[in-house]
Amino acid sequence: MLERHELDAFLTLAEQLHFGRTAELLTVSPARVSQTIAKLERRIGVRLFHRTSRRVELTAAGRELYAELRPAWTAITEAVARATEAGRGVTGTLRAAFVGAAGGQLLVGAAEAFGKSFPDCEVVVREAQFGDVGPWLANDEVDVVLSTRETDVPGTVQGATLVSEARMLAVALGHPFARRQTVSLADVARTTPVEAQATLQETLTLVGAGRGVAEVGAQTRRYYPRPDVVYVPISDAPPVRWCLLWHEDRETARVRAFDHVLDELVRSAR
């Protein structure tokens, strides 16, 4: 059975491949790291590292041990952190972001309801663009984002569908479809979409200038009315579905509690 300090020394040295840097990270002396690794190698009966005066390398046995230990040790430490947080309750700060005006209105309402249920946890709300969602979650800049299910970001978890809205096609006032009551997906396939922009306002500006069309949710017509843009329902398109997103590696008690409060808020409003 490996001891905690042996695991820390082995995994850190395997990643740093430098006794000095490993010692700094573990706040011990390089000699202590060397002694711990030597003791570990004697215990399991194989060399784990090749050591020279210039470099440190993992042996084949060391690489195999690292490949087995790292995911298991990460899972253990994360489980302990989650259990500790659960025992402390929902406290601290939850960083929440939203995409679009409708999403902002819903998220602010959820933050107020959350604050009443969990007064020891502050919710900080900020606006995001669709292009921000992936980087912000991946880089731990926010804890949760209210966005659409079409925001397909690797490593994220999608909560339950909160709101569904009809899908519409935004076209310029002079576009042939602007006089139509509805369009079909076959009609949409014959159009030219505008290039992706940083913000919805920029996208609609290009649409109004006749540079192309854009698929949007029905709430866009309410929150972004423009004299140069017409919103036409797409009769056979699936709806735009909104949900809460968070990174799978950072699913905390705060995140789970906020997702529950948001879901309950939407259900009570139906």
CATH assignment at residue 63: 1.10.10.10
| Boundary of a domain, candidates 58, 87, 116 | 87
Query: 82 and 19 share a domain?
Result: yes
Number of compact structural domains in the chain: 3
Tokens (6 digits) for 165? 């809205």
Query: 207 and 254 share a domain?
Result: no
Query: 223 and 256 share a domain?
Result: no
Query: 8 and 81 share a domain?
Result: yes
Backbone angles phi, psi at 215, to 5 degrees: -85, 130
Q: Which stretches in the chain have pLDDT values below 70?
A: 78, 81-88, 152, 268-270
Whole-number Å distance between alpha carbons of 135 and 125: 17
pLDDT value at residue 161: 85
DSSP 3-state of 237:
coil
189-228: pLDDT as tens digits: 999 999 878 788 999 999 999 999 999 999 999 989 999 9
| Boundary of a domain, candidates 87, 117, 140 | 87
| Boundary of a domain, candidates 31, 60, 87 | 87
Query: 27 and 44 share a domain?
Result: yes
Q: Which domain holds residue 111?
A: 89-164+240-269
Whole-number Å distance between alpha carbons of 109 and 112: 5
Whole-number Å distance between alpha carbons of 34 and 121: 44
Query: 40 and 109 share a domain?
Result: no
Backbone angles phi, psi at 196, to 5 degrees: -60, 135
Whole-number Å distance between alpha carbons of 167 and 112: 29
Query: 11 and 77 share a domain?
Result: yes
pLDDT value at residue 58: 96
pLDDT value at residue 253: 86
Query: 253 and 120 share a domain?
Result: yes
| Vertex 144: Cα angle to 143 and 148 (nearest 5) | 155
**Residue 167 and residue 237 in contact, taking contact as beta carbons nearer than 8 Å:** yes
Query: 54 and 117 share a domain?
Result: no
Query: 15 and 58 share a domain?
Result: yes
Query: 35 and 136 share a domain?
Result: no
Tokens (6 digits) for 244? 């809460």
Residues contacting 41, CB < 8 A, separation 6+: 47, 48, 49
Query: 147 and 76 share a domain?
Result: no
